[in-house]
Amino acid sequence: MSVFEAADFDHHETVAFFDNKASGLRAIIAIHSTALGAACGGTRMYPYANGDEALDDVLRLSRGMSYKSAIAGLPLGGGKAVIIGDPTKDKNEARLLAYAEAVNALGGRYITAMDVGIGPSDLPVIARGTKFVAGFDQPGKTGGDSGPLTALGVFVGLKAAVKHRLGAGDTKGVTVAIQGLGKVGMGLAKQLHREGAKLIVSDVNAEAVHGAEELFGAKPVSPDDIASVECDVFSPNALGAILNDRSIARMRAKVVAGGANNQLARDEHGVALKSHGILYAPDYVINGGGIIRVAGQIFGWADAEIEHRVLGIAATLTQIFRRADSEGVPTNVVADRVAEERMTEGPHAAAKAAE
């Protein structure tokens, strides 16, 4: 399959393939847009069935990063990388250093960070071979752990959605069903509990569920039932494509607001949510705290500046909700339009949006 015929090809600026025989590295780096700055996005290591599957993933994810950075008002473009291989078996120093050279080959047009299969212990190895890396703890720089700020952004974004849809100024007494209790889901649960929300939780990790029960008085349900429980807000913080024909038909929430990536199985599921009277907080808007943290490290922003930008996610979502109401279109359509407008207008638009 030619790159140009790939379903997720969207006028990407660069799609680079790397094959290093000595280390066994096989990787693809996709730069979707540098209209607002150097492309930034994580590296994913995954045992893809074939090259076409890896290509589809990197094209889709890199485009998403362009939109995420643009909507967050960051001076960054969108890119992503995938390494073909099982991270539990195929990851080693030689392969990571070969990947660092692949990043260097793009001359600074792409800055990498963490993603599935590439964690905190891997980035320092990659950083030995390239300076175009961010999103991990580095001496003299703001911290790299994006989990807490992603959770903060989801919390304030969820509150903005609750205010718009339910007219409530806070989440006291609001029932929130949280799917996924990783760093973001558990951090969100803590903040919601502190404000007085009623929590329903689910995770494949029984220990995490038990912890939420003990700490927050959360009610546990099975992973199969979490999307359809009676609640005010459904908060997906685990799987992608969770919003599909089957789940939306069964959903009893009035709001969907969570940190998971790629929540809509297809773009038209935004229409389905709207037709069911469910307010959707577009995923790449509400979970922007992570890329804001990474940008802060790249540009040397103070922690106070980074937190200010994360708190601004609430205002961005409120603007999207109001525009969606006035134009009579789904919120994901409005979010895409805003991101595309900013990319078209260039860096000045991003700087103005971040003020």
The reply to whether 80 belongs to the active site is yes
Q: Residue written as tokens 């919003």?
A: 243
Beta strand segments in the chain, E: 14-20, 25-33, 39-46, 77-84, 110-113, 175-179, 198-202, 219-220, 233-236, 255-256, 279-280
For 72, 283, 328, the CA distances from 313, given in Å and listed in that order, are: 7, 11, 22
Amino acid, single-letter form, for residue 284:
Y
Which of 80, 159, 198, 254 is the catalytic position?
80
Cα(101)–Cα(283) distance, rounded to whole angstroms?
A: 32
Between vectors from CA 300 to CA 297 and to CA 304, what angle results, nearest 5°? 90
**What b/e readout covers 1-26, taking b as 16+ CB neighbours within 10 angstroms?**
eeeeebebbeebbebbebebeebebb
Active site members: 80
